Amino acid sequence: MTAAAQPLPAEGWTTADGRKIGPVLMEMKNITLRFGGVKAITDISFDIREGEIRAIIGPNGAGKSSMLNVISGFYVPQEGEVWFRGAKRPPTKPYEVARQGIARTFQNIALFEGMSVLNNIMTGRLTLMKSNMAQQALWWGAAQREEDEHREKVEKIIDFLEIQHIRKTPVGRLPYGLKKRVELARALAAEPKLLLLDEPMAGMNVEEKEDMCRFILDVNDEFGTTIALIEHDMGVVMDLSDRVVVMDYGKKIGDGPPDEIRSNQAVIDAYLGVSHD
Ligand SMILES: Nc1ncnc2c1ncn2[C@@H]1O[C@H](COP(=O)(O)OP(=O)(O)O)[C@@H](O)[C@H]1O
Ligand SMILES: [Mg+2]
């Protein structure tokens, strides 16, 4: 590990493949999260830059999902500060966090199995609807025009993720890889500034993984969406991410570009002899 890494330019930088990384979008400062006696996260700090793809890696139980849950407002840490878009965020409920422009997918798929793909994705827009719309949009004719606008946006996402052919299919009937894609579509429907993906490729075959990788890159490129993702497949992490945070037993043991992380001894040690299912 380099003992004293150069500070990164505040205004951002351009990557080797010509992508623009901007200033800090989100900053986690000295976050500690406990569940009773269990310390899931211990004094972790890192930032996420505008436009970057930021990976969080580490063995099972390292605290990665807990960290995403702190970012999404699902858990409130006992210590530390969460800064988003230049302001310190007070303890904030998940739906408020969603309104501020943060969307997520889950480690275990959380879709409505009996509902069509289209309607599942529509639920992703609920945070953007007026409050009475949120209750009535899908059912009341009076809200038709606003619903049409939402539907149009959703159809664009459906095209973008190449799932036109299953738009009317109940999610419960879809193979795993497509369910994950629908979950991504639902998160995108909220037009997030920051997209959180918890193991978007877990359980996928090689082809499904390749597709998902391509879609993640396209989302980042096309919509300029900043992405923080948890992923176990090191090949995927190295290919996709601009910078990587490494967690182990709730602590941060590495933070930097993929090349640097690959040769970080603490990271190599943490991964030796550990199963990553
Ligand atoms: N809701 C919870 N209640 C109690 N302990 C939890 C809870 N969520 C996570 N933990 C514990 O926190 C630690 C980190 O878990 P997690 O964030 O899920 O790790 P990862 O996603 O890296 O596998 C584990 O020891 C786990 O058992
Ligand atoms: Mg997890």
What long-range pairs does 203-210 form, CB within 8 A, spacing at least 24? Answer: 203/176, 204/176, 204/177, 204/180, 205/177, 208/176, 208/177, 208/180, 209/233, 209/236
- Is the minimum distance from the CB of 64 to ligand 1 under 6 angstroms? yes
- How much distance in Å is there from the Cα of 70 to the middle of ligand 1? 12
**What does the pLDDT read at residue 109?**
81
- Is the minimum distance from the CB of 65 to ligand 1 under 6 angstroms? yes
**Residue pair 149/139 in contact by the 8 Å Cβ criterion:** no
- How much distance in Å is there from the Cα of 155 to the middle of ligand 2? 31
- Kindly tell me if the per-residue pLDDT of 131 is higher than 80: no
Read off the pLDDT band of 1 (50, 70, 90): very low
At 123, is the secondary structure helix, strand, or coil?
A: helix
**What does the pLDDT read at residue 50?**
98
Dist CA 241 CA 55 (whole Å) = 6
**What does the pLDDT read at residue 45?**
98
- Kindly tell me if the per-residue pLDDT of 147 is higher than 80: no
Averaged pLDDT for residues 123-141? 66
**What does the pLDDT read at residue 233?**
86
Q: Which ligand minimizes its atom distance to the CA of 202?
A: 2
CATH assignment at residue 276: 3.40.50.300
Helical ranges in 87-205 per DSSP H: 94-99, 117-123, 131-136, 144-160, 176-189
Judgement on whether residues 48 and 178 belong to the same structural domain of the protein? no
Domain boundary at 141, 164, 191, which? 191
**What does the pLDDT read at residue 78?**
97
**What does the pLDDT read at residue 2?**
46
Question: What is the Cα 89 distance to its own chain's centre?
Answer: 18
**Residue pair 230/138 in contact by the 8 Å Cβ criterion:** no
Domain that holds residue 157: 109-191
Judgement on whether residues 126 and 155 belong to the same structural domain of the protein? yes
**Residue pair 92/69 in contact by the 8 Å Cβ criterion:** no
Dist CA 38 CA 22 (whole Å) = 36
pLDDT in tens, 94-117: 989 999 999 999 878 889 999 999
Nearest CA to ligand 1 atom 10: 40
Dist CA 117 CA 223 (whole Å) = 21
Nearest CA to ligand 1 atom 11: 40
Dist CA 191 CA 224 (whole Å) = 11
Tally of domains in the chain: 2
Judgement on whether residues 183 and 53 belong to the same structural domain of the protein? no
- How much distance in Å is there from the Cα of 201 to the middle of ligand 2? 12
Judgement on whether residues 74 and 118 belong to the same structural domain of the protein? no
Q: Which ligand minimizes its atom distance to the CA of 249?
A: 1
Judgement on whether residues 21 and 80 belong to the same structural domain of the protein? yes
Q: Does residue 88 sit within a domain?
A: yes
Averaged pLDDT for residues 169-194? 95
Q: Does residue 17 sit within a domain?
A: yes
- Is the minimum distance from the CB of 38 to ligand 1 under 6 angstroms? yes
Dist CA 146 CA 142 (whole Å) = 9
Dist CA 74 CA 257 (whole Å) = 28
